[in-house]
Amino acid sequence: MKKIWVLARMTFQEALRRKIIITGLVLGVCFLLIFSIGFHLVITNAYASAARSSQTLGRMIQGEGTNVLIQAGLYTVTFLAIAMGALLGADTLAGDISSGIIQTVVTKPIRRSDVVLGKWLGFAGLLLLYTILMAGGVLLSVWLQTAYTPPRFMLGFGLIYLEALLIMTLALACSSLLPGLATGGVVFGMWGLAFIGGWIEQFGSLMQYPAAVKVGIVTSLIIPSEALWRRASYEMQSPLSAALGMSPFATISVPSTLMVVYAAVYVMLALAAAIRIFSRRDL
């Protein structure tokens, strides 16, 4: 176990030195600045409109508008975290194999499973830190300007992180078998499949078309990434939006708790597949 933690720390430190982390942080800071400025402009206009309305209607406009905007920000954070997870996992094992670095590591008294687990833990910690910074930045910006926090934010954050962790683990599993570029194509292709399937399920539920709902469920079973975001959005939306479906982020077909459990099991199975494939691969 000690070897795994040493490898995790080394992976974390090595990842911090890679340009992809710096690039991700710079883009994340730019996003937070743009979001904060845009939120300020929109919410100032919304508050002015609310002031001309009745007190009850004004408070409703303020609350619902703020909730929609913070969910839009968190949706972007989700995509940034997913992209970071995919890029971290895509070239880690494949890159070490192609460069010959992995042969130096595995010749030491270290099991191949320890290498995979160490890299996974290091990337999981880095991804957690990145997601906290981005989601926390959105939450802090909104709170400083409006003193508003969405309902069940910690639960929603946990689901967003689980989605990013799922993509990173899937990329790590593919990286144990495929080159880095091919891994990136497979992972983003599967994420796109889940994205389209989720929207088909939403429209199917809205139009009461069971066949479309089944398509969405099948894609969620193939890769449950979009289902995690829809559950996170459902948890964080306001009660009024949940009841009326008036928000663009309102979830009509809500993924069940069983689907969340399935996603967690999916992560563990993907990690187990990465260990098994890498342990048997001819280096």
Mean pLDDT of 142-164: 92
Element (H, E) at 53: none
Q: In angstroms, rounded to a whole number, what is the distance separating the alpha carbons of residues 52 and 253?
A: 36
pLDDT at 64: 75
pTM of the model: 0.89
Closest-CA residue to 260 (of 170, 169, 187, 155): 155
Burial 145-156 (b: 16+ CB within 10 A, else e): ebebebeebeeb
- Cβ burial of 262 (10 Å; 0-12, 13-18, 19+) is middle
**pLDDT bucket at 190, cuts 50 / 70 / 90:** very high
Listed by start position, the domains of the chain span: 2-280
Burial 75-90 (b: 16+ CB within 10 A, else e): bbbbbbbbbbbbbbbb
Looking at per-residue pLDDT, the higher value among 260 and 1 belongs to 260
Contact indicator for 134, 32 with CB cutoff of 8 Å? yes
Please count the other Cβ atoms lying within 10 Å of the Cβ belonging to residue 189.
10
Contact indicator for 90, 180 with CB cutoff of 8 Å? yes
Mean pLDDT of 146-153: 89
Mean pLDDT of 112-128: 89
Contact indicator for 134, 28 with CB cutoff of 8 Å? yes
Ramachandran area for residue 245 (φ above 0: left; ψ -120 to 50: alpha; else beta):
left
pLDDT at 104: 61
Kindly tell me if the per-residue pLDDT of 49 is higher than 80: no
Looking at per-residue pLDDT, the higher value among 101 and 89 belongs to 89
Least trusted range by pLDDT, from 31-40, 160-169, 206-215: 206-215
**Tokens at residue 79, please?**
């995509």
